[in-house]
Amino acid sequence: MISHQERYDNWAPDYNKDVAARNYDGPDYIVDYLMELADAGKIPVSPDLADFKVLDVACGSGLVGQALQKKGFRHIDGTDLSQGMIAQAHHSGAYQTLMAWIDLNKPLPFFLHGQYDLTVCCGVFALDFVEPKSLSYLAQATKPGGTIIMSTKTTYYDTYDFDGYYKSQVDAGELSLVDCRMNKPYLGSEADGHYWVFTVPAKQENTA
Ligand SMILES: C[S@@+](CC[C@H](N)C(=O)[O-])C[C@H]1O[C@@H](n2cnc3c(N)ncnc32)[C@H](O)[C@@H]1O
């Protein structure tokens, strides 16, 4: 059976054209949602600051990066499992640094830990690409006090226990849920996406 990596390597040259034909709204929706929360002061997001660093995990061909760039974000890095998709992301011109062969089913490489003010992950918690616990790998990349924004496809949410996992992380003090929106535009004409915004709590100094 063909792996997800091979599937996306093969699909990469036609990905943008094909998903546009299927009305893939995820990237624009997630960035608009992000900016709404930022404008409302609910999350600390400063696109105009050159040192405000964004990581787009499983960035694919760069659709999210391009949407972020239009909003003024200046430092966006991207990772993906597929080298073919990373090559497309490179052509998008939206990213500072791109890294292929980064599997979100595994802890992220150590050099990415705690580096990002904002971690974005769109279109990946879908099908069987990743387990809910991959949310903790998004948190690894995020600075204390930073933000994670991500989507889950409704069919993924209905199949996997994403709710149970994120709540366990909240209970453990590893994440806080800032906001979520259910049944919003994602792919095609159906409202088949949920969107989630978390912060990674700043660690308390132990002064005792
Ligand atoms: C539907 S595309 C979404 C791409 C991009 N985020 C977007 O919204 O356009 C899914 C992406 O996830 C990547 N992917 C699939 N499984 C992955 C994994 N285990 N780790 C990292 N990336 C993965 C694929 O290579 C592909 O680029």
Q: Is the pLDDT of residue 173 over 60?
A: yes
| Confidence at 1, pLDDT banded by 50, 70, 90 | confident
Residue with tokens 């998903």: 19
pLDDT classification of 204: cutoffs 50, 70, 90? low
% of the chain surpassing 70 pLDDT: 98
List residues near ligand 1 (CB under 6 A).
4, 8, 26-27, 58-60, 63-64, 80-82, 85, 103-105, 122-124, 129-130
Cβ contacts of residue 90 below 8 Å, gap of 6+? Answer: 62, 98
CA of 150 to the centre of ligand 1 (A): 12
Calculate mean pLDDT across residues 99-114: 97
- Residue 36: half-sphere exposure toward Cβ, Cα within 13 Å: 12
**Rg of the chain on CA atoms, in Å:** 16
Average pLDDT (28-36) is 98
Statement: residue 157 has pLDDT above 90: yes
* pTM summary value: 0.97
Closest atom of ligand 1 to 126 CA is: 1
- 118-134 mean pLDDT: 96
- In the predicted structure, residue 207 carries a pLDDT above the cut 80: no
**Average pLDDT of 113-127?**
97
Atom of ligand 1 nearest to the CA of 129: 16
Domain 4-10+24-199 has CATH 3.40.50.150: yes
Residue nearest atom 3 in ligand 1 by C-alpha distance: 123
C-alpha 47/C-alpha 55 separation (Å) is 13
